[in-house]
Structure 1
Amino acid sequence: MTRPDTYRSRATVMVLLALIGLLATGCVRFPAPDSPPPTATAGPPVLPGVQVDIPVEPPPSSEACNATLTLRPPAEMPAPGRMPLNSTMGAILERGRLIVGLDIGSNLFSFRDPISGDIQGFDVDIAREIAGAIFGDERRVEFQVLSSAQRIDALRDMTVDLVVKTMSITCDRLRDISFSAPYYVASQRILSFRNSDVTGPVQLAGKRVCAARGTTSIGRMQSIQPQARMVSTTTWADCLVLMQQGQIDAVTSDDAILAGLAAQDPWVRVVGPSLGEEFYGVGIPKGQDDMVRFVNGVLERIRATGRWQQIRDRWLSILDTGYGAPQPYYRD
């Protein structure tokens, strides 16, 4: 009688022989399932907040007002850390920090450094000068990121103490907020591709032109070139992304902002004549005249000491506009 373990041994040998035969004759092949061609199509990604072919907006107001006329600084500026009692600056000093609204998409003016993560730029340094004048420590500032369209509301709601965000002083805006004296003068121009035929507003007829929502750039471009197809975004950085994706033909904004975009992409350039001057001011809640005078005193100091020029040389040396620190004009 054959023992059971003998049968198991023979079976094992037969399995091994079968495997050796398969290896000798090649790999085992299994038929692949049918793979029909793809039916979906893909388009360029859509950035949130983009509006295409936006309605015509009014150009910057031609109202007869001297928008840059402002309040004279105090005869004697208070020492840092010793703000007047019951003043706007005193309340900020007691809180322990200055709250400033800006954005992080305006390269050269306010942007986040990709290595350190710090928010830096021309506007940031202006804000730090104001914080230093209040506290004696320019680091005592909290930045809140705002879109251009949020600037006025943030000041009206007093969720920020100041807005330092490439904000043009206009008669329309003076109805809702106050401004400091101008701290920078810019010219609205056009950003186009280097291989493009766009060299000015004439060539923008029928083309897609981007600008950040809530800025004066949109209305001015529509008044100069009514046939331009305006596209608005939340930030200026979004305009550059749309340009890189081929979804727009040009960007229009102030030359300083456009220079910051051009610094990020060698295939674009700033072109054309000035479409109009813009005077940037520090936005301040309506009725805070003491804060207007105090900020004007800070701006007066950095002009007189050469600090303004140092800040400009650090961030805006790429520009050759010929503008220096704007001179203030006081109404009292």
Structure 2
Amino acid sequence: MDTKSLILGLTAAATLALASIPAQAAKLDDVLSRGKLVVGTGSTNAPWHFKDAGDTLQGFDIDMAKIVAKALFGDAEKVEFVNQSSDARIPNITTGKVDMTCQFMTVTGERAQQVNFTIPYYREGVGLMLKDGGQYADYAALKAAGSSVTIAVLQNVYAEELVHKALPEATVDQYDAQDLLYQALQSGRADAAATDQSSIAWYVTQNPGQYKDGGYGWSPQTYACAVAKGDQDWLNFVNTALHEAMTGVEFDTYAASFKKWFGKDLPPPAIGFPVEFK
């Protein structure tokens, strides 16, 4: 066989091999054709995802999913939520049970090997909640008091180390449930509760005049939604929807949600030079 015939034969074989590979519909097209977005999330962690007295799912994660649904269909309600445990967040993405997960999911390198993370929609951290009008006014007062202060924290192998990053001399009391932290603070057994900044913002918002943020945060971590690997168009679309909610045409929606769940007014994005490149 001459060289030309060999090349033609190899080209034909390659064409047949490619034709035998089944075409895979892009996720964006698949979701649009279905007419609804399917999102994995939880239902027991306020202010992220929880049910109200009327059994309606709500929270900041839920609002983020609705922002994506609105970008897809012009209707924020065209979304189906799949209630999942924390350990199902990645498997439900990789198996295709959900189109994306929004469930206060911390971005880590290990997880990023299994799923694609979207741009961040919240930066979490640890803070200190105090009683409004209590003995200690803020973080500076707690630190100045040294070993005289007692800090309540959720039980964890790293709990004492975590508290001592901010208050090296404080006494640390560990509790096995979040509500017990607040009870310890309320009863005076603890001078402050070390917990997620989002939990502090939520609790302060729900109990005006009773509690306050100590004004110091540490141990930052990033929350993002996650999608399956292998479909850049889908990731780009979700990123665009979230980005424009935080910086563009849907900012009012994002800001209203932030205010509702965390009690804080966000400054509107500056007009002119894009803030992302400053």
Q: Please, what TM-score do these two structures have when normalized by structure 1?
A: 0.55
Describe how 1:198-277 pairs up with structure 2 within 5 A: 199-200=138-139, 207-210=151-154, 221=162, 224=165, 228=172, 230-231=174-175, 239=178, 241-246=179-184, 249=190, 250-253=193-196, 255-266=197-208, 267-277=210-220
Q: Are 1:286 and 2:224 matched, yes or no?
A: no
Instruction: Please give the alpha-carbon distance, in whole angstroms, between the structure 1 residues aligned to 2:86 and 2:131.
Output: 25
How many Å separate the matches in 1 of 2:159 and 2:135? 21
Report the equivalent of 2:25: 86
| Counterpart residue number, 1:99 | 38
- Match of residue 16 from structure 2: none
Offset at 1:101?
A: 2.2
**Structure of larger gyration radius:** 1
Q: Which position in structure 2 is the counterpart of 1:117?
A: 55
Q: Is 1:142 aligned to residue 142 of structure 2?
A: no
Greater Cα offset, 146-155 or 165-174: 146-155
Q: Aligned pair in 2 of structure 1 residues 208, 170: CA closer, same or farther (>3 Å)?
A: same
Structure 1 counterpart of 2:217, one-letter code:
S
User: Which residue is 1:152 aligned to?
Assistant: 90
Q: Identity over aligned residues, as a percent? A: 24
* SS of residue in 1 equivalent to 2:217: coil
Of Structure 1 and Structure 2, the greater helix share is in: 2
- Structure 2: distance between partners of 1:218 and 1:290: 41
The 1:231/1:153 distance shift into structure 2, 3 A limit, reads farther
Who is 1:178 aligned against? 116
Secondary structure of the corresponding residue to residue 273 of structure 1:
strand
Q: Give the superposition deviation at 1:269.
A: 2.7
Unmatched 5+ stretches in structure 1: 1-84, 234-238
Going from structure 1 to structure 2, the CA distance change for 1:283 and 1:220 (only over 3 Å counts) comes to farther
**In structure 2, distance between residues paired with 1:327 and 1:147:** 36
Q: Specify the SS of the correspondent of 1:275.
A: strand
Distance 2:183 2:109 in 1: 36
Verify: 1:298 aligned to 2:241, yes or no. yes
Q: Secondary structure at the match of 1:176?
A: coil
- Greater relative CO, 1 or 2 (CA 8 Å, sep 6+): 1
* Separation in 2, partners of 1:143, 1:292: 19
Distance 1:323 1:168 in 2: 26
Give the equivalent residue in structure 1 for 2:259. 316
RMSD after superposition: 3.9
Question: SS at 1:182's partner residue?
Answer: strand
Letter in 2 for 1:307: E
Contact 1:108 1:316 in 2 (8 A): no
**Deviation of 1:282 (Å):** 1.4
Contact 1:109 1:315 in 2 (8 A): no
- TM-score, normalised with respect to structure 2: 0.64
Distance in 1 between residues matched to 2:107 and 2:153, nearest whole Å: 23
Counterpart-to-counterpart distance in 2, 1:124 and 1:307: 15
Structure 1 residue 164 and structure 2 residue 102: aligned? yes
Say if 2:175 and 2:181, in contact at 8 Å, map to a contact too: no
- CA deviations over 1:114-136 (Å, ceiling 9, x no partner): 3x432233332221121233334
